[in-house]
Structure 1
Amino acid sequence: MSAPERIPARSVTSASAGSSPPAQPSAERPAQPSAERPVELLAEGELTVRGRVREASNAVLYCTVSYEGREAACVYKPVAGERPLWDFPDGTLAQREVAAYEVSEATGWGLVPPTVLRDGPYGEGMCQLWIEGEPGSELLALVAGEEAAEGWKAVGFAEVGDGETALLVHADDQRLRRLAVLDAVVNNADRKGGHLLPAAEGRLYAIDHGVTFNVENKLRTLLWGWAGEPLTEEAVEVLRRLRDALGEGGPLAARLASLITPAELDATRERVAALLTSGRHPEPSGEWPAIPWPPV
């Protein structure tokens, strides 16, 4: 018998503009219309803070952005609201979120919602199009037994209380497999289940990429189901394109140069080269916890 691990909905509390990031009581979220030319809208539009995402460890503000008659819902993460981390330079998480979007766009997979770096009500920060997840698409589950069923990939065992364990599995899904490759390229140190957003028309988006691009190997993810398996032909072709785009004078290298350090850019090139050399999905290094906590 299986117990699906549903991706929790992000909850929002109301806010009004002021001198400090807002919090508390609950509010209705305005409907999110489809965004035309979302990057332009996010970069140039007027931001209005509507609420705060309660579960986030850093300041994550739910906003609307309006520009030339267009409006959309978005997330604004001000640098001023970032919690210091021991292994990442202070005040750099917003830039890393934008860098992850740039790499995602370069793959052609479109796995990260449109994301820009801009000024806002609480200073410079990351602004990202809000994605409303579609219910009914299960990507993670906790199941009884020691093997994953057909259509699922095993990650490992998890404690579920009273000394019992269950097998954590994720869907054997092409969208997740692409994301596993993207995470390996950007060195994602925190790929949790709640960061996966199945959306309309079969799209899958991934969010929360602040702890990426470290020069040290910090890959920590729930998507280990393909560890050690050969990369798909599609993934190899994408990695070749990334290698070219990351070369000296390449378009992606130019975009990333203003977002991450030269050493981090070099490390990204090295990760792409290593994936192409091995031809396989990476495996846990054993030098860093392989599974994020909490996992969802």
Structure 2
Amino acid sequence: MTSGLQPLLDENDALRLLQRGAVELEGRLVDASNTTLRAFLTLDGVTARCVYKPVRGERPLWDFPDGTLAGREVSAYLVSRATGWGIVPPTVLRDGPLGPGACQLWIDEPDDADPLVGFVPADELPTGWFRIAAAQGEDGRPYTLAHADDPRLARMVVFDAVINNADRKGGHLLMGPHERVYGVDHGVSFHVEDKLRTVLWGWSEQQLPDEAVEVLERLAEALDGTLGEELAVHLTAAEVHQVGSRIRRLHATREFPPPPQEWPAMPWPPI
């Protein structure tokens, strides 16, 4: 089977393909901590790649119940869809060659995509970038972990605060077609305890843009209706309740969250 570029699918067509397409495994993404497989999906003559994460391949974690990461991946997509920002690629829970798991549309990154997060020489910080943390190269040269002052990343910060994302690495940000920035790998989200860890701290305690405030209001309303019902399929009642609490807290402060003092503020490795 030839790979080629991903077909441009609208969201409904992508969901239909993810839910009903025949799965042909292509290979494993070896850098992932849990079993993460790339596969082809084919339905009605349309073929696209996906990421398939079977529940049986999830590594046990001390702070998350076993077998729940796939459902959290789907929950992140549901919240993303409710924001209207399209942050998370279409994602479903379905049966596959290795049993039930999360199935997410693969995002092809353009070869010439400019990075928005990374380590840069300390004296060469790009204009408009935020310094996040100091680092040192193997040669002893000073570097800075930094990210762009980009509204697409600012949206990601608000989204991550809502879902309580404990693992927003730079490598979990993908540039898709039409310069859309996607977030992936949300298996360790939605914990009832505050666990926000991210490399995107540049806006800490700055005022939220009006757009974000409006989205939070829309999320609060949706959580009392369809969104809450959808999340209840994958999360506990306490976890869904805490989503609402985080939305209300963000709306009340109208500020980007500050780094925590009680737990590490950034995931490791950060990229």
C-alpha separation in 2, matches of 1:148 and 1:225: 14
Q: Distance in 1 between matches of 2:190 and 2:215?
A: 18
Q: Secondary structure at the match of 2:52?
A: strand
Please, what is the CA RMSD of the aligned residues?
1.7
Q: 1:7-39: per-residue Cα shift (whole Å, max 9, x none)?
A: xxxxxxxxxxxxxxxxxxxx9855432335100
Structure 2 residue aligned with 1:236, among 213, 233, 247? Answer: 213
1:58 to 2:34 alignment: yes
For structure 2, the 5+ residue unaligned runs are: none
Residues paired across the two proteins, number: 268
| Candidates 34, 45, 51, aligned match of 1:75 | 51
**1:159 & 1:181 partners in 2: Cα distance?**
30
**2:98 counterpart (122, 126, 136):** 122
- The residue number in structure 2 matching 1:264 is 239
Post-superposition Cα deviations, 1:98-137, rounded to whole Å, max 9, x if no partner, equal 0000000000000100000000010000000000112331
Report the Cα offset of residue 143 of structure 1. 3.3
Calculate the TM-score normalised by the size of structure 1.
0.86
Aligned to 1:97: 73
Tell me if the contact between 1:155 and 1:225 (Cα under 8 Å) persists in the aligned partners.
Answer: yes
**Structure 1 vs Structure 2: percent identity of aligned residues?**
52
Contact 1:147 1:167 in 2 (8 A): no
The TM-score normalised by the length of structure 2 is 0.94
| 1:167 positional shift | 1.8
Give the distance between the partners of 2:181 and 2:122, measured in 1 at CA. 28
Report what 1:280 is aligned to: 255
1:286 offset after TM fit, Å?
1.0
Deviates more, 1:193-202 or 1:87-96: 193-202
For residues 29 and 287 of structure 1, the distance between their equivalents in structure 2, rounded to whole angstroms, comes to 46
Match of 1:110 among 64, 72, 86: 86
Query: Which structure has greater helix proportion?
Result: 2
Aligned: 1:184 with 2:161? yes
Partner of 1:14: none
Measured in 2, the distance between the counterparts of 1:209 and 1:145 equals: 30
Contact 2:53–2:101 at 8 Å: present in 1 too?
A: yes
Q: After superposition, what is the alpha-carbon deviation per residue over 1:74-109, rounded to whole angstroms, capped at 9, x for unaligned?
A: 010000000000110000000000000000000000
Secondary structure of the corresponding residue to residue 60 of structure 2:
coil
Provide the secondary structure at the position in 2 that maps to 1:197: strand
2:99 counterpart SS class: coil
CA distance 1:147–1:231, change in 2 (3 Å):
farther
Give how far 1:51 is off: 0.8
The residue that corresponds to 1:33 in the other structure is 7
Shift of 1:162: 4.9
Provide the secondary structure at the position in 2 that maps to 1:220.
coil
Give the unaligned 5+ runs of structure 1.
Answer: 1-26
Q: Which is further off, 165-174 or 88-97?
A: 165-174
Q: Is the 8 A contact 2:5 2:108 kept in 1?
A: no
| In 1, Cα distance between equivalents of 2:185 and 2:228 | 22
Match of 2:201 in 1: 224
Shift of 1:267: 0.7
Which of 158, 164, 178 is the equivalent residue of 2:135?
158
Counterpart contact for 1:34–1:72, Cα < 8 Å: no
